[in-house]
Amino acid sequence: MNVRPISGAVLGVLLLAVTACGGGGSGSGAADGKGNGEDSTAAQSKQSEAVVTVAPENGAKSVETAGALEVGAEKGRLTEVVVKDAKGTELDGEISKDGATWTPSTHLAASTTYTVHAVAKDSEGRSAAEDSRFTTLTPKNTFIGTFTPEDGSKVGVGMPFSIRFNRGITNPEDVEKAIRVKTEPAVEVESHWFGNDRIDFRPEKYWKPGTEVTVDLNLDGVEGREDVYGEQAKSVSFTVGRSQVSVVDAKKHTMKVVRDGKTVKTVPVTTGSPGYETWNGQMVITERLPVTRMNGETVGYGGEYDIKDVPHAMRLSTSGTFIHGNYWGGDAFGNRNSSHGCIGLRDVRGGGDGKTPAAWFFDNSLIGDVVVVKNSEDDTIAPDNGLNGWNMSWEKWKA
């Protein structure tokens, strides 16, 4: 038998055929294997290296309202952080310049469920995200603040915004930070604490007439003292009316009523007699009473007087200083000082005569109007005796 040798060209064709058949015959195993390797590499290249961290952990309960919420990013930068309560209200916060952390700008509300959605990108611009949900603590002890003036009221130019708390505050900075005062037109407003249960807000000088003031009380969840949390979250607005500043001269026994810079009336008055002198200083009208009872026992004067029907009375101090109608003073008005420290204006019993000086002044006064007393033999009234912080310098007020 003759055996013919296979030429190199034919052998190459056969080898090519075998290789081709071998590749196809492994089926799609070898081809798919190669394809899977490429897909896997592509998938890995698309996965972000950034890692987002959220504290507290998902599902956490009884979370502290301050200091517990932390959002961070490793191997990347935070690009978006959205924190919402159950009502969909977003919590303000700020991403740091390096993108490593997000910090809430305020505390959390108590007994509230929050959701967190955070996104970070790595150096290649690939995103990673994290979602979480947690619920804050329910306080066993709470505090509230009683404030003045009332929401929606129109007040005089001397009216501060004052809050008195029912519990002594030992974390004043946290409480103060949760109260925002906004004005239109804009003016610098500063706060001052009187003791640990009262804080007042005012500008350097009397309010400009027409100023709109809005106060946001974001006290819900603020730890005012250890384990005692605020429960108020509300907005209060008031409007400043015309300017009225009345100046009482205790030596001349007169009161000059100045409205929007012009004297509109000069009224004869009587102030505190020797030993009972009226305070000097700037005093703000805080209460208006068409008729009230005045009893010396309530202000340390024993049974020296008890008048059950004092007309047209307006409070100037916590300690009991009023400017009021007086129907028993005879010829004292404009002539001599005969009161127990109050400022008296001529009136009639029952206050029914609308033409008397007391009736006129009552009808033309607002809560927040200023009464300034000068030339009395007494000291200047203390800033915390009523809403009379105007007797404190701006530097001391801010300090």
| Residue 340 annotated to the active site | no
Cβ partners under 8 Å of residue 39, min gap 6: none
Asked if residue 157 lies in contact with residue 240, where contact means CB atoms within 8 angstroms, the answer is yes
22 phi, psi to nearest 5 deg? -65, -40
- Whole-number Å distance between alpha carbons of 32 and 14: 25
| Residue 21 annotated to the active site | no
The active-site residue out of 253, 312, 324, 340 is 324
- Whole-number Å distance between alpha carbons of 48 and 78: 13
- Whole-number Å distance between alpha carbons of 204 and 192: 12
- Whole-number Å distance between alpha carbons of 343 and 314: 10
Provide the total of helices (H) and of strands (E) in the chain, helices listed first: 5, 27
- Whole-number Å distance between alpha carbons of 170 and 224: 6
The active-site residue out of 107, 253, 312, 342 is 342
* DSSP 8-state assignment for residue 176: H
- Whole-number Å distance between alpha carbons of 300 and 276: 12
Catalytic residues: 324, 342
